[in-house]
Structure 1
Amino acid sequence: MSEAAPKVSVIKMYAAREEIYPREAKGLYANWRWVCVWLTQLVFYGFPWLSWNGRQAVLFDLGARKFYIFGVVLWPQDFIYLALLLIICAYALFLFTAVAGRLWCGFSCPQTVYTEIFMWVERKIEGTRSARMRLDKQPWTAEKVAKKSAKHLVWGVIALWTGFTFVGYFTPIHELVGEVKTLGMGPWEWFWILFYGFATYGNAGWMREQVCKYMCPYARFQSSMFDKDTLTVTYDKERGDPRGARSKSAAKSNLGDCIDCSMCVQVCPTGIDIRDGLQYDCIGCAACVDACDSVMDKVGSPRGLIRYTTENALKNHLTPQQIRRRAMRPRVLIYTAILVLIVAGFLGSLLTRTPLKLDVIRDRGAMGREVEDGMIENVYRLQIMNTDEFPHKYKIKVSGIESIALAGAEEVELPATGSRAVPVRVRISHGKGQPGSNKIMFEVESTDGSDVEVKEKAVFFVPR
């Protein structure tokens, strides 16, 4: 008797993506999401066109190693401010996540914002959810080609304009406009416009929820910042189950408030069913809340079957006042206190910083030499930076050893946001100072009434 042929089975290591057709949601949270879209895009697209003191208001000039942010000019020596800004962003993320979950993801994340814009274009050109589904299923006709081409053309224009604006933060945007008109942009400008445009087009037009589900690390570690008092988008199972369609005898059928219409699934941009519980795919956009509230209005049931609430609130039937009181728990208070302290320190340091910087570099080629009249001379290079928006005149002084003085010019003029390397010779009389290293102090102060001065330590070497 022959043996039966082995059964062959195919195991797929990767599941093909199922196309998601989100239905348009209307309601409170949808309105707030569009408010965030307008605010973020007005800032992003508008700031490069603003002027401040005859220059671009926000410009990160990498070639000149200067960052212009309205009235503030930051130099490489101000790297500490970037570090503080990143720390502030991190603690703000911790705080907002502990209080309200993925609030950033659902309303202000660039991926969410641009996906919302691209989906709006898609709805305007291809129609509603059902119309888009029918369009994708039908064969390629002139109408389908026209609609798909128009959609991708608009997407491409938005993406390229986004890439252009991004580069406009690093190259003065008015110069960039001229370069675009003459196709005279440099290779790096071409690269970043096309790269950023392609990333916007691909992420918001094609990948969409896949970026949130597979590429964004925040979805993976968010649970470590959640607790039972974190506000999340939640389905009230106690009130909603058992689910079922409504009828005239629904009151006698012991059904819950959920009519199983699947509207919460249809509006979800990541395609999940929030009734299955909190999932890492949920970005907290609350589109399902708006959809469910509109259905509850139609069937005459109270709103809030799906709502922002906490695990403890559902379990213990807490009132809104109790939820707010439990929000002020130790971890939230600690995050808030740390964030307030860092922000206060950041702003205080930024507002009180001296608009003058001084670096002293000693000439190591000659440790110390004897010149005319038996005097001892050391040579230094003073790197003086005027971080103010206006030109200033400065006077250079030196102290620390008896009879110490500068040999040569003692005044220097610097343009607005300019720097200059000033070689200076410092001399002392013979017999003054100790053999070897002697501590001295350079001082640079303004002479035009701006009342700015800085001091920097250095070493004067006396030959033994």
Structure 2
Amino acid sequence: MSSGNTNKDYSKGQRIKIHQPDANKADSFSPSNHIYVRAVQGIWTRLRSRMGWVAMLSFMLLPWVQWGDRQAVYFNLAEQKFHIFGLTIWPQDLTVLAALLMIAAFGLFFVTTYLGRVWCGYTCPQTVWTFIFIWFEEKFEGARNKRIKLDKMPWSFNKVWRKAAKHSAWLAFSLLTSMTFMSYFVPTTVIYTEVFTLSASGLIYFWVIFFMFATYGNAGWMREIMCLHMCPYSRFQSAMFDKNTFIVGYDAKRGESRGPRSRKADPKALGLGDCIDCDLCVQVCPTGIDIRNGLQYECINCGACIDACDNTMERMGYEKGLISYTTENKLEGIKEKLLRPKLVGYGVVMLTMVVLFIYSITAIEPMRIDILRDRNQLYRENTDGLIENTFTLKILNKTEQAQEYQLVVEGLSDYKWYGPQVVTIDSGEVYTLPVSVAVDPVDLKRTITDFSIRLSTKVDGELVEVKQESRFFSP
């Protein structure tokens, strides 16, 4: 793609989006016209590669980490409980999960406002897996020019085996990705044993195959289509950007007018800027854009074009940084502002959610009791002349072992309890216990008396208690 045919005014740091078609991306929806990404070396490429390895290995290895007698991270949908190391989240504790998701959301907003779309460029699974698939592509089909040439060649044995090897590697890695993802919902040892011994259920095979082809399609075929046309983040990111957001930017004042020249030539004598119009910044871009045309929503801030341009500047003997992480204000010669209302606002909300999340975790009790009144009768007088109320208790054991619980009424004097006051409940069980509480009417001063039922047990030798309030009705 040559960008020398545009005569836009770059001196004002405008956000320009080119709409004309180009040879590299004539039809981004067609697999036959996919972007051929050129390999590049540089500081940002190394950083992205290392962060990608950390993200991928964390995802791959985490299901194999054990915590006691179970997986450290295990989302048990059948029993409706999520295990995250020593924390067990039940459906009753989903506020904790909601708080965690809100922290992630506002964390993303904060980082985007400050550093632009670096999440997409360095840690987004779509980006990480796309570059892994491109690595397989380079190993079997060669560098960018060789891949372009191979695709234009007629079918031959050389082309068939290279294509077959590449797609086989893609499918194998997609299967590994799918199995790993499923390991978060089905025990790791179980899913690998059952799938490869052909003893898994049809539902497990369905999801393994589904996620395998989803990975194969996303990272192998769709790639930038996901970023450009399907990812909602690329559409609403501009709402978080401002002129002090760090973006990948091209210094048009220094680079224009662009044009080829020899290393020994004086660009000023030729009336040229530092950009030699080599197009390497376009060739290394995973979304196929030309960063010299201004900020575009397709840019994922991966820094590949920075490395490509710095390498060119170094070969030419020019100063690096023609393309760099910068801000619009800096490109326009305006002093940058680090702290601004939007950034501070996102940071305050994020910190508030972190505090609420920590409080929610510390407030999680290892048990729960709910009191349901008998709706058919508020009260009755029994044969002993006592006023009796009937309740149904729902007791949940949220620990990993069976527990013995004791029930005590508080707030009612000289009461009688009809039903067991000591119960043993298995791990994860919701125990239903119908009980009645009776009180002498002489001791009841009001028609409605507030009281509570205290549930107590010992967890790891420590006494734990929870209370649930209710009301006692009388004539």
Q: Is the 8 A contact 1:399 1:405 kept in 2?
A: no
Residue 462 of structure 2: SS of its match in structure 1?
coil
The unaligned stretches of length 5 or more in structure 2 are 1-20
Q: Is the 8 A contact 2:195 2:205 kept in 1?
A: no
Letter in 1 for 2:238: S
The offset of 1:417, in angstroms, is 4.5
- Give deviations 1:36-66, integer Å, cap 9, x for gaps: 2111112211121111120111111111111
1:34 aligns with 2:49: yes
Distance (whole Å) between structure 1 residues aligned to residue 285 and residue 208 of structure 2: 31
The offset of 1:142, in angstroms, is 0.8
191-200 or 345-354, larger mean C-alpha shift: 345-354
Distance (whole Å) between structure 2 residues aligned to residue 419 and residue 342 of structure 1: 30
Aligned positions of 1:147-296 closer than 5 A: 147-247=162-262, 248-251=264-267, 252-296=269-313
Q: Is the 8 A contact 2:370 2:394 kept in 1?
A: yes
Could you tell me which residue of structure 2 aligns to residue 4 of structure 1? none
Distance (whole Å) between structure 2 residues aligned to residue 282 and residue 450 of structure 1: 55
Letter in 1 for 2:456: E
Q: Is the 8 A contact 2:419 2:434 kept in 1?
A: no
Letter in 2 for 1:342: M
Distance (whole Å) between structure 2 residues aligned to residue 286 and residue 405 of structure 1: 74
Could you tell me which residue of structure 1 aligns to residue 359 of structure 2? 348
The offset of 1:367, in angstroms, is 3.4
Residue 35 of structure 2: SS of its match in structure 1?
coil
Q: Is the 8 A contact 1:355 1:388 kept in 2?
A: yes
Could you tell me which residue of structure 2 aligns to residue 114 of structure 1? 129
Letter in 2 for 1:460: F
18-27 or 436-445, larger mean C-alpha shift: 436-445
1:384 aligns with 2:400: no
Aligned pair count reads 445
- Give deviations 1:237-296, integer Å, cap 9, x for gaps: 111111111223334213111111111011001111111111111111110001111111
Residue 452 of structure 1: SS of its match in structure 2?
strand
2:345 to 325, 334, 337: 334
Aligned positions of 1:56-67 closer than 5 A: 56-67=71-82
328-337 or 71-80, larger mean C-alpha shift: 328-337
Distance (whole Å) between structure 2 residues aligned to residue 186 and residue 378 of structure 1: 49
Q: Is the 8 A contact 2:93 2:364 kept in 1?
A: no
Distance (whole Å) between structure 2 residues aligned to residue 69 and residue 133 of structure 1: 46
Q: Is the 8 A contact 2:379 2:387 kept in 1?
A: yes
Distance (whole Å) between structure 1 residues aligned to residue 129 and residue 95 of structure 2: 31
Distance (whole Å) between structure 2 residues aligned to residue 420 and residue 15 of structure 1: 64
Could you tell me which residue of structure 1 aligns to residue 10 of structure 2? none
Letter in 2 for 1:454: V
The offset of 1:77, in angstroms, is 0.8
Q: Is the 8 A contact 2:178 2:212 kept in 1?
A: yes
Letter in 1 for 2:157: A
Could you tell me which residue of structure 2 aligns to residue 370 of structure 1? 381
Residue 114 of structure 1: SS of its match in structure 2?
helix
Q: Is the 8 A contact 1:398 1:405 kept in 2?
A: no
Distance (whole Å) between structure 2 residues aligned to residue 15 and residue 29 of structure 1: 28
Could you tell me which residue of structure 1 aligns to residue 58 of structure 2? 43
Could you tell me which residue of structure 2 aligns to residue 3 of structure 1? none
Distance (whole Å) between structure 2 residues aligned to residue 400 and residue 317 of structure 1: 69
Could you tell me which residue of structure 2 aligns to residue 316 of structure 1? 333
438-447 or 223-232, larger mean C-alpha shift: 438-447
The offset of 1:391, in angstroms, is 4.2
2:453 to 425, 434, 442: 442
Distance (whole Å) between structure 2 residues aligned to residue 335 and residue 346 of structure 1: 16
Alpha carbons of 1:427 and 1:187: their partners in 2 closer, same or farther (altered >3 Å)?
farther
The offset of 1:83, in angstroms, is 1.7
Alpha carbons of 1:317 and 1:305: their partners in 2 closer, same or farther (altered >3 Å)?
farther
Q: Is the 8 A contact 1:358 1:385 kept in 2?
A: yes
Distance (whole Å) between structure 2 residues aligned to residue 164 and residue 422 of structure 1: 42
Could you tell me which residue of structure 1 aligns to residue 465 of structure 2? 453
Could you tell me which residue of structure 2 aligns to residue 7 of structure 1? none
Distance (whole Å) between structure 2 residues aligned to residue 46 and residue 114 of structure 1: 16
1:85 aligns with 2:85: no
Could you tell me which residue of structure 2 aligns to residue 298 of structure 1? 315
Distance (whole Å) between structure 1 residues aligned to residue 380 and residue 183 of structure 2: 52
The offset of 1:413, in angstroms, is 2.8
1:360 aligns with 2:371: yes
Which structure exhibits the higher relative contact order, with contacts defined as CA atoms closer than 8 Å and separated by 6 or more residues? 2
Residue 432 of structure 2: SS of its match in structure 1?
strand
Distance (whole Å) between structure 1 residues aligned to residue 55 and residue 432 of structure 2: 41
Could you tell me which residue of structure 2 aligns to residue 396 of structure 1? 407
Distance (whole Å) between structure 2 residues aligned to residue 249 and residue 44 of structure 1: 51
TM-score by length of 2: 0.89
Letter in 2 for 1:106: G
Distance (whole Å) between structure 1 residues aligned to residue 363 and residue 446 of structure 2: 40
The offset of 1:73, in angstroms, is 0.6
83-92 or 357-366, larger mean C-alpha shift: 357-366
Q: Is the 8 A contact 1:395 1:447 kept in 2?
A: no
Residue 433 of structure 2: SS of its match in structure 1?
strand
Residue 327 of structure 1: SS of its match in structure 2?
coil
1:16 aligns with 2:33: no
The offset of 1:369, in angstroms, is 3.3
The offset of 1:82, in angstroms, is 2.0
Residue 188 of structure 1: SS of its match in structure 2?
helix
Cα RMSD after superposing both structures = 2.1
The unaligned stretches of length 5 or more in structure 1 are 1-11
Q: Is the 8 A contact 1:53 1:389 kept in 2?
A: no
